[in-house]
């Protein structure tokens, strides 16, 4: 598989979703940590849904969360937020 670098998770959401489809949550988090800082956001999280913030090494930020067996990424297109969902493996 070719190397994939995350520069701006918000604009790369669909490509990231295709790249990590079927991966477990822990592998996705470890992979993203290689491209920036991940922060757990407890005030948005609730049972079964874990919210995170991501800040890439070049300073671009975006949010994402895990909901049961899905990863949900916030995609930005011309300052409009869309949600991209992808299946994750159970741990």
Say whether pLDDT at 77 is over 80. Answer: yes
pLDDT, residue 4, reads: 79
Element containing residue 76 per DSSP (H, E) = strand 70-77
Say whether pLDDT at 10 is over 80. Answer: yes
At residue 32, the 3 state secondary structure works out as helix
In a domain, 55, yes or no: yes
Domain range for 72 is: 13-87
In a domain, 5, yes or no: no
pLDDT digits (tens, 9 = 90+) for 11-62: 999 999 999 999 999 999 999 999 999 999 988 888 889 999 999 999 999 9
**pLDDT band, very low/low/confident/very high, at 2 (cuts 50, 70, 90):** low
In a domain, 8, yes or no: no
Q: Which residue has the tokens 């969902």?
A: 85
In a domain, 72, yes or no: yes
Q: How many domains does the chain have?
A: 1
In a domain, 1, yes or no: no
Say whether pLDDT at 1 is over 60. Answer: no
DSSP conformation class of 34: T
């Amino acid at each position: 598989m070719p190397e994939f670098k995350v520069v701006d998770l918000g604009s790369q959401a669909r490509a990231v979703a295709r790249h990590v489809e079927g991966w477990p949550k822990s592998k996705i988090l470890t992979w993203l940590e290689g491209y920036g800082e991940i922060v757990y956001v407890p005030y948005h999280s609730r049972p079964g849904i874990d919210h995170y913030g991501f800040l890439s090494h070049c300073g671009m930020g975006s949010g994402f969360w895990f909901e049961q067996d899905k990863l949900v990424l916030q995609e930005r297109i011309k300052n409009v937020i869309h949600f991209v969902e992808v299946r994750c493996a159970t741990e």
